[in-house]
Amino acid sequence: MQLNDKVIVITGGGRGLGRAMALELADKGAKLALVDLDQEGLSETAGLCAEKGVEARTYECNVSVEGDVEKLFNDVVADFGTVNGLVNNAGITRDGLFLKVDRETGKVTKKMTLDQWQLVMDVNLTGTFLCGREAAAKMIDLGVEGCIINISSISRNGNMGQTNYTATKAGVQAMAVTWAKELSRYGIRAASIAPGYIGTEMVMSMKPEALDKIAAGIPAKRLGKPEEIASTVTFIMENDYINGRCIEVDGALRI
Ligand SMILES: NC(=O)c1ccc[n+]([C@@H]2O[C@H](COP(=O)([O-])OP(=O)(O)OC[C@H]3O[C@@H](n4cnc5c(N)ncnc54)[C@H](O)[C@@H]3O)[C@@H](O)[C@H]2O)c1
């Protein structure tokens, strides 16, 4: 898919990877529909895209609320006339051990709470489901070809302290495979990207000691750059034979 003048929706476009994706797609001449809860961040991203000479509109929306997501895609189509792409990028973590056990007594002292579980499910998994569904429905009704990318994670195979997050990131990868199987006949591709540790706000908010330890354990000996994920998004969007697969961008780290 040539990206010039195409309308691409990016969730979580207010900062981090979403902003880097917006800037990369703007360089390709795409029109951006930027979605986030954070209006200030959205405006900043939109301003940076506008400086590159493309149309960028902002949509304050919680991706986990069905009615809000339905309205979002109606608004995007009303504003731009179409929708050609979606990056399901909005995501959160609420890390914690599944069960915490006191070393001396051997007894369970803490459990991952249902709130911790449900919040991450709502944003990462339900949000991706809802946005993917509404984007694909619009593409089919409008008769346009399109591409949907779900942002998974290196954590999708299981990672300490991330029962909730890993379940969602395995889920969004699997959904991309399912959508490729179901939607290819309508000219819609779906794929996923599994980033390793990338230096965004989400990761940089970790303790410096923890960050140093992570970087030392990566064969590439550094964190990834947001632009390295953003260029993978444009690569998938532009290559019409990438479909149903997950591209790993992790500096060779295995966790
Ligand atoms: N940074 C990394 O190292 C890394 C690694 C693997 C995967 N990822 C994934 O990449 C994606 C982006 O990560 P990031 O580091 O840029 O995160 P980030 O926290 O910097 O940005 C996430 C954005 O999503 C928005 N958001 C959160 N909940 C939302 C909701 N309910 N509705 C709409 N917007 C919402 C936030 O406001 C924020 O602007 C996430 O899905 C994350 O899990 C990141």
Q: How far apart are CA 64 and CA 61, in angstroms?
A: 9
Which residue type sits at 252? A
Binding site membership of 250 for ligand 1 (Cβ less than 6 Å): no
Q: How much is the pLDDT for 255?
A: 86
- For residue 184, what pLDDT is reported? 98
Question: Measured from the CB, is residue 203 less than 6 Å from ligand 1?
Answer: yes
> Which residue's CA is the closest to the ligand 1 atom numbered 34?
36
Q: For the chain, which residues score pLDDT lower than 50? A: none
pLDDT at 203: 83
Pairing of strands 108-111, 99-101: antiparallel
What's the pLDDT tens digit per position in 177-223? 999 999 999 999 999 999 999 999 878 888 999 899 999 999 999 99
Of 178, 237, 242, the closest CA to residue 9 belongs to 237
CATH architecture of 7-245: 3-Layer(aba) Sandwich (3.40)
pLDDT at 194: 98
CB of 13 shorter than 6 A to ligand 1: no
Ligand 1 atom closest to residue 62's alpha carbon, by position in its atom list: 32
Catalytic residue among 59, 165, 197, 241, which? Answer: 165
**Secondary structure of the chain: what % helix, strand, coil (to 5)?**
50, 20, 30
Whether residue 162 has its Cβ less than 6 Å from ligand 1:
no
- Tell me how far apart the alpha carbons of residues 58 and 63 are, in angstroms, rounded to a whole number: 14
- Cα–Cα nearest to 96, from 64, 75, 120, 132: 120
Question: What pLDDT is attached to residue 206?
Answer: 86
pLDDT at 204: 86
165 is catalytic: yes
Residue 32: its pLDDT value, please?
Answer: 99
Of 168, 182, 172, 169, the residue nearest 139 (C-alpha): 182
